[in-house]
Every structure is written in structure tokens, then in C-alpha cells.
Amino acid sequence: MKSIYWFRNDLRINDNHSLNLAIDRSDKILFVYIHDIANKRNCSWGFKRVGEHRNLFLSQGLIQLKNQLNKYGHSLNTYVEDPVNILCNLVNKHKIDTIFCESILSFDELKQIELLNKKGVTVCSLWHSSLLDKDQLPFSIFNLPNNFTDFRKVIELKGIKPYKPIVLSKRISKIYSIDDKNLATLQINSINYDKSSFPLSNNEFMGGEQSGLIFLKNYFKGEQPSTYKKTRNQLMGKTFSTKFSPWLSLGYLSARQIFYFLNNYEKTKIKNESTYWIFFELLWRDYFRFIFEKFGKKMFYKKGLNFSSVEVKHSIKNFNLWTSGQTKNQFINAGMFELNSTGFLSNRMRQIVASYLINELSCDWRAGAAWFESQLIDYDVYSNHCNWAYIAGCGTDPRGGRHFNVDKQREIHDPQYTYQNLWAHS
């Protein structure tokens, strides 16, 4: 069988179920990555969907993926095009039988698969971006609890553990490589990331599977996992949080790989509240993925999952002040300067600036989610959208949203104005 493997947000060769399926079923294979031309256009809110920081992190990882495939006698063919158009052309040109890819449950990605099927293209998509497989859940997606606590308690009560990460199929060296001789590259400006908590210009923070695995191994060699819960709400620095999210977002690492190292750390070093909290947050990440499958496009509605009590307003003027870091609050401005300058923001600061946009500036939470999509190097449609909806009271939070007191948050998390001064006048 002649196949295409279409890399999406799974830019790794290890613990990649859909990639192994493609390799095991194919006699000839064409490896493809497509820079969606839609990402070069403005979104409905008037700005680019994907900014320069994520493009840089992506380009770093594609170079590593290309080099890894080269070692097995294969090439990575990359395109800047509409995915449906280019895939249809490649199917016809190379007489492809099946396209294999990761399953992504967001609206645009599902639409791409639907259009390919309508054009008569056979697509085999496989879900593998979560910690737990859907077949491990003790309930159907339809019966998924509508709040995380209930979900977590059931998972923990039943002692459900992730499957072990899988290795790359050895057949990759035996199947014939189809080379379309195409290599599209992104033009990336040189940016100084020295002040960033995730300086992706540094070798240890670069995008790619190999970089991610090295970082993962080094993280669990030290003491950071055992103190994570105490430091996770800090605002700045390279070591206050795990920093796994950028590599997870593009699939350079899998959640199962992280759990494998975490589990080994608990067995050989220490198991405490901090190590549990790493698992806790991986489970949160899973929950948002399953919520997306349960509610589908409702997650993109103005009122999200709350169709009655939430009033959603929007001020274009206030939104522009927020995105440019020109609000009346210098603490908020510091956060926006960091985000715009580096593509990264601590989880605590993300919650604070989100609450400020929604509650103090009376803006549509979906506009904030779109700005994060544009700017963040670790953008993940499930976590990003669900977290914004959560704070806006349009998601799964039973308390009806979160309104942060910005002054109190600054007093707690930046009492000496260290963070605010670092990003002042950036």
C-alpha cells in the first residue's frame, strides 16, 4: 500500500501510534508536513493566527524531525498550502491509497478531514494526544462528568494508569520512501529571548523531539519535581514550572512519556504532593481534550457551554490596549509585554491577564483566546480555549468563572515589583 503520513501536532517519531500504524501498513510512504496557508492570514479578530514565536519553535522542531527521518532513509516534505488541496494533489500524483494522521478534535482540523473524505480520499486518523486513551475511560464521552473534580476522582478511585510509551516501528527502515522533493521553509526573524522564562533561542529550550527528550531527562534528574507545587505559581525564571507545555503543544513530547519519567522518579527518588501535582495537571490537560469531544463546536460559541446567565461584551478599544500592553495597570502591561516579546507567560499570569480582559475591560473571552493562539509558543487549542472559557464562566467551572483581584495578585506574586520592573518599558 502507498501511503502519506501527514504530521500535524505530533512532530515526533517515538510514542506515535498513528505513525506506527502507517509504517506497519505501508509498502511505500511519503512523509508530509503542511504549513496551513490560513495561518498566514488574519483571523476574524484582525491579527495573524500564528505569530513569529511559535513559527520559530515549529521550524526548530521540523529540522530535528527531518534529520531523524533522514537517518532511516526518508525525507520530510514540507509545503505552504491549503492542506486539503495539497493532499489531494499528492494523492493523485503518487497514486496514494491512504493518508494516515493524528486525530485533532478542533473545528478547522475536523473540517479538513471531512473535506478530504468528500473528495474521495481515504483518511485514517488516530487519537493519541492524551495521557489516557479514550478506551481506558470508565464512562462514555457522552457521560463524561461536567467538572474536573468528578472526573479526577473516578480516574483515581479506579486506579487507571496510562499505557506505556511505544517505540518507533522497526519497519521504518524497510519500507520504500516516496520523495516529492519539496522543502518549504519559514523566514524567521532573529529575536532576543534572554529575559524569557522559556528562552527558545537557547539550545536546551529549542523546539524538537530530541531537545524535548533531553530536557525531560534532565528535569527528572534533579530536585525540581519534588518542589513543583511550591514554585508553580511564580511568575518568572527557568525552573519555577516544568516547562513541558511547549514541547507537548506541537507533539515533540507525549504526555505518556512525561508520566513514564514521573512514575520512575516517584519509585526511585521521592513521591510527594509536588510529584502528584504534575500528574494532576496532566490529567487536567486530558480532561480539556475529552470535554472538546463531548461538546464539539459549542466550545467556540460566544457563551460557550453557558447559554443563559453569561453576558459577553466586547470593546475593540480596550482589547487593543490590552494586546499592546497599554492599559491603566502596569502589572497587566508587564504580562502583555512578556507575552508579546517572548511567546511565553506563566500560568498564573495567564489567568490574571485573562481575568483583567474579561472583567475589567469588558471584552469577549474568545478574542483573548485568539490572541493567545497567535502569541503563545505552547498554544494548544483544547487547553487554551477551555481555560479561557473557564475564567469567563463559559466553561466547566461550577463556580461560574474567576475574577482575580489584580492588585492582590501583584502583592502576593510580585511584592517587590521584580517581575513588573523586568518587563517595564519593553
Please tell me the distance from the alpha carbon of residue 339 to that of residue 384, in angstroms, as a whole number. 14
User: How far, in Å, are 123, 186, 276 from residue 160 at the CA level?
Assistant: 31, 42, 14
- Cell numbers at residue 128, please? 493519541
Please tell me the distance from the alpha carbon of residue 386 to that of residue 286, in angstroms, as a whole number. 11
pLDDT in tens, 231-243: 999 999 999 999 9
User: Span 139-146, mean pLDDT?
Assistant: 93
Residues facing 298 on adjacent strands = none
If pLDDT is split at 50, 70 and 90, which confidence band does 299 have?
Answer: confident
* Fold classified for 130-163+208-297: 1.25.40
Closest CA to 132 of 167, 169, 168, 159: 159
Please check the confidence at residue 426 and state whether its pLDDT lies above 70. Answer: no
Please check the confidence at residue 187 and state whether its pLDDT lies above 70. Answer: no
If pLDDT is split at 50, 70 and 90, which confidence band does 296 have?
Answer: confident
User: Span 313-334, mean pLDDT?
Assistant: 96
Please tell me the distance from the alpha carbon of residue 392 to that of residue 358, in angstroms, as a whole number. 7
Please check the confidence at residue 380 and state whether its pLDDT lies above 70. Answer: yes
pLDDT value at position 414? 96
For the chain, what is the mean pLDDT?
Answer: 93
| pTM of the predicted model over 0.85 | yes
pLDDT in tens, 211-268: 999 999 999 999 999 999 999 999 999 999 999 999 999 999 999 999 999 999 999 9
pLDDT value at position 398? 63
pLDDT in tens, 165-179: 999 999 999 999 998
Please check the confidence at residue 181 and state whether its pLDDT lies above 80. Answer: no
pLDDT value at position 41? 86
Please check the confidence at residue 308 and state whether its pLDDT lies above 80. Answer: no
73-82, 185-194, 223-232, 328-337: least confidently modelled range:
185-194
pLDDT value at position 186? 59
Please check the confidence at residue 397 and state whether its pLDDT lies above 80. Answer: no
| Cβ-contact 419, 334 below 8 angstroms | yes
Radius of gyration, CA atoms only, the chain: 21
Please tell me the distance from the alpha carbon of residue 246 to that of residue 237, in angstroms, as a whole number. 15
| Cβ-contact 248, 215 below 8 angstroms | no
User: Span 196-211, mean pLDDT?
Assistant: 94
| Cβ-contact 142, 290 below 8 angstroms | no
If pLDDT is split at 50, 70 and 90, which confidence band does 310 have?
Answer: low
φ, ψ (nearest 5 deg) of residue 225: -60, -30
How long a stretch of residues is the chain?
426
pLDDT value at position 29? 97
| Cβ-contact 377, 410 below 8 angstroms | no
pLDDT in tens, 37-89: 988 888 888 999 999 999 999 999 999 999 999 999 999 999 999 999 999 99
Please tell me the distance from the alpha carbon of residue 69 to that of residue 62, in angstroms, as a whole number. 10
pLDDT value at position 57? 95
User: Span 364-380, mean pLDDT?
Assistant: 96
Chain-centroid distance, C-alpha 326: 28
User: Span 147-155, mean pLDDT?
Assistant: 94
User: Span 22-27, mean pLDDT?
Assistant: 96
pLDDT in tens, 96-132: 999 999 999 888 899 999 999 999 999 999 999 999 9
190-204, 236-250, 332-346, 364-378: least confidently modelled range:
190-204
Domain covering 301-422 in this structure, CATH number: 1.10.579.10
Name residue, grid cell 493523485. Answer: 92
Please check the confidence at residue 208 and state whether its pLDDT lies above 90. Answer: yes
Q: What percent of the chain has pLDDT over 70?
A: 96
| Cβ-contact 304, 395 below 8 angstroms | yes
Please tell me the distance from the alpha carbon of residue 420 to that of residue 414, in angstroms, as a whole number. 7
User: Span 300-318, mean pLDDT?
Assistant: 80
SS3 of residue 141 by DSSP: helix
Q: Which H or E run includes 100?
A: strand 98-102
If pLDDT is split at 50, 70 and 90, which confidence band does 368 have?
Answer: very high
Give me the numbers of helices (H) and strands (E) for the chain, helices first please. 17, 6
Non-local CB neighbours of 30 within 8 Å, separated by 6+ positions: 2, 3, 4, 5, 77, 90, 94, 96, 177, 178, 179, 180
Non-local CB neighbours of 59 within 8 Å, separated by 6+ positions: 185, 186, 188, 207
> Which CATH code of 1.10.3720.10, 3.40.50.2020, 3.40.50.620, 3.40.47.10 fits the domain covering 1-128?
3.40.50.620
User: Span 91-97, mean pLDDT?
Assistant: 95
User: Span 278-282, mean pLDDT?
Assistant: 97
Q: Domain locations in the chain?
A: 1-128, 130-163+208-297, 301-422
For the chain, the first-to-last Cα distance in angstroms comes to 55
